[in-house]
């Protein structure tokens, strides 16, 4: 098996990749994650995934590098992680009773191959009351989460439906990730027989 490196500090991504039964090392890339002027959410996540892959590939040229970046998009704008309780409430008021999109850019790179893809999932949020928001904030779960929620946690109760990949909303679209890893022979067809 190729030496696989997951270039992410996200525990959720690590757990999702472990579901596939793959062995991998974790190396955290350090890049500027500022959004460029007029950059769409889709382009932003793909560019960050590609930049992370390039940085790690220069340090480990013989490895297979897997990177990802996930952001929420609402009305064409990126919804990031809450900076405070007040900010989390602003985010939830914007998401409340509406649909938003979760975009993940994923990239698999080797010394000879470089593949990337963007996966989009539509998420519907119920209308949140002030009490819902107070109670959810008190759990601590929203801290450090894009959109101030975790679909795999307590917030699942606020989400009546999604269209697309569930694992994408958690942070790593597994189907698409496997397809890219097959292209660089980290996963072979016979592995699933």
Give me the CATH number covering residue 25: 3.90.950.10
Per-state percent for the chain, helix, strand, coil, to nearest 5: 40, 25, 40
Residues with Cβ within 8 Å of 8's Cβ and at least 6 positions away in sequence, in order, are 14, 26, 28, 52, 67, 68
Kindly state the tokens that stand for 144: 């450090």
Give the Cβ contact number of residue 35 at 10 Å. 16
Q: Which domain holds residue 26?
A: 4-192
User: Is 69 known to be catalytic?
Assistant: yes
User: Which among 32, 69, 101, 132 is annotated as catalytic?
Assistant: 69
| Residue-wise pLDDT tens digits, 5-44 | 999 988 899 999 999 989 999 999 989 888 888 899 999 9
| Residue-wise pLDDT tens digits, 65-86 | 999 999 999 998 999 889 999 9
- Dump strand ranges (E) for 12-109: 25-26, 64-74, 77-79, 99-109
This prediction has a pTM of: 0.90
> Across all residues in the chain, what is the average pLDDT?
92
What is the C-alpha to C-alpha distance for residues 96 and 124, in angstroms, rounded to an integer?
9
* pLDDT band for position 193 (cuts 50, 70, 90): very low
Specify the number of domains making up the chain: 1
């Amino acid at each position: 098996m190729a030496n696989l490196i997951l270039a992410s500090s996200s525990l959720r991504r690590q757990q999702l990749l472990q579901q596939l039964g793959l062995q991998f090392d974790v190396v955290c890339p350090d890049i500027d994650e500022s959004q460029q002027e007029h950059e769409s959410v889709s382009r932003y996540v793909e560019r960050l995934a590609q930049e992370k892959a390039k940085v790690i590939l220069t340090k480990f040229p013989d490895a297979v590098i897997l990177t990802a970046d996930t952001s929420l998009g609402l009305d064409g704008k990126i919804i990031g992680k809450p900076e405070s309780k007040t900010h989390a409430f602003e985010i939830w008021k914007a998401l409340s009773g509406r649909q938003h999109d979760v975009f993940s850019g994923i990239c698999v790179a080797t010394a000879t191959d470089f593949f990337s893809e963007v996966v989009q999932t539509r998420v519907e949020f119920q209308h949140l009351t002030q009490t819902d928001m107070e109670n959810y904030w008190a759990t601590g779960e929203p801290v450090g989460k894009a959109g101030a929620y975790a679909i795999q946690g307590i917030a699942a109760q606020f989400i009546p439906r999604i269209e697309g990949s569930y694992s994408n909303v958690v942070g790593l679209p597994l189907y698409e990730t496997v397809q890219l890893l097959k292209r660089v022979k980290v996963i072979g067809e016979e592995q699933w027989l």
